A = this chain, B = another copy of it.
Amino acid sequence: MKLATLDDGTRDGQLAVVSRDLKTAHIADGIAPSLRAALDDWAFIAPQLDALYRQLNDARGEGKARRSFDFDPARCMAPLPRASARVCGATYLHHHELQQRALGRSLPAAWREAPVLRQAASDGLHGPTRALVLAREEWGIDFGAELGIVSGDLVQGATPDAALAQIRLLLLANDVTLRTLMPDELETGFGLLLSKPATAFAPVAVTPDELGDAWTAGKAALPLRVHLNGNPVGTLEAGEDMTFNFAQLLAALARARPVAAGTIVGTGVVSNRSTRRHTPGYASIAGQRWLETIDCAEAVTPFMRFGDTVRIEMLDGNGKSLFGAIEQTLEQAAP
């Protein structure tokens, strides 16, 4: 099923079920007030949401789901505006290899053995069409298309198989980075905070069964499309070059702690290697700049400029939008 959170003025928003084609929606607050509350009690709530989802999909044009309405992504908050927890992993290692190579280094071997995880902000998460409002272009404002999952409860020490069974929802995100603020933060060893403004999420969260055969071995083998100002800059395959699958990412987190329902685990930027047949482009500007540095000794692609619009979308097996699109325009903050 597909679930969205509508902005009703509350901090956690209002839960809605959205039709598979993303055209209609139905308020679900009679079942659970928010997605957060639904995840707290998923075994009881999910079947009720699923019944409404089936009714909504079946009823198109037949008047069965009579209180449905046109789905408007602009009304959406992030599916989880405040998650229980959020962690991002170094998953598409090609992205991190490029970074290291551009710096004249190589990726530490440990990064290939287990996912390196980063505690990320789990509150203040933004909806899909909210403007990126930042003060200075010189911060090196960069988008970052990534996937994420929302977990159920998981005991500490859970295996990847156990973790796989607890993957409740998939998400699509734009994890924004201020690239010129990042090196100082990496040096402290304390991780990224100033260099990570709010992450935005696509309009709907989807259950893994929505992916059909494309959901295999804890990976989403589907195309990811990134556009900058209407021009395609990334035509990636999220199922390729994913060094660790979602079950492994989640199990890596469970090494450190029990995982609570509503925890988001993100992949970090999706990145594919070029092949003779296909140049995938990029899901973050930094990735492209690192390639330029390696190949030509100089990065030429600029970071985002005020007025730029980034669009991030994943297509399902029928070429339709799976999560709806993230579409964010960069605006200059008022001084």
Contact = CB atoms under 8 A, between A and B. Distances in A.
Contacts of A124: 85, 257-258, 260
A121 interface: yes
A193 interface: yes
Copies in the complex: 2
A123 B85 contact: yes
A227 interface: no
Contacts of A90: 190
A198 B259 CA distance: 11
A166 interface: no
A193 B40 contact: no
Given A108-B187, A197-B257, 14 more contacts: A90-B190, A110-B184, A111-B188, A116-B188, A117-B190, A117-B194, A118-B190, A119-B192, A119-B193, A122-B123, A185-B189, A186-B189, A189-B191, A194-B255
Given A121-B85, A184-B110, A260-B124, A191 B192 contact: yes
Contacts of A118: 119, 190-191, 193
Given A193-B256, A256-B194, A257-B198, A119 B119 contact: yes
Contacts of A121: 85, 119, 257
Nearest to A185: B189
Interface string A61-100: 0000000000000000000001011010010000000000
Given A11-B40, A84-B82, A123-B263, A117 B193 contact: yes
Contacts of A257: 121, 124, 197-198
B119 A120 contact: yes
Given A120-B119, A124-B257, A260-B11, A87 B191 contact: no
12 contacts: A82-B260, A85-B121, A85-B122, A87-B193, A108-B188, A117-B190, A117-B193, A119-B192, A119-B193, A123-B263, A193-B253, A198-B257
A191 B119 contact: yes
Nearest to A117: B193
A196 to B, nearest CB: 8
A192 B194 contact: no
Residue among A40, A85, A110, A122 with the most chain B CB within 10 A?
Answer: A122
Given A40-B11, A82-B260, A260-B123, A190 B191 contact: yes
Interface in A215-254: 253
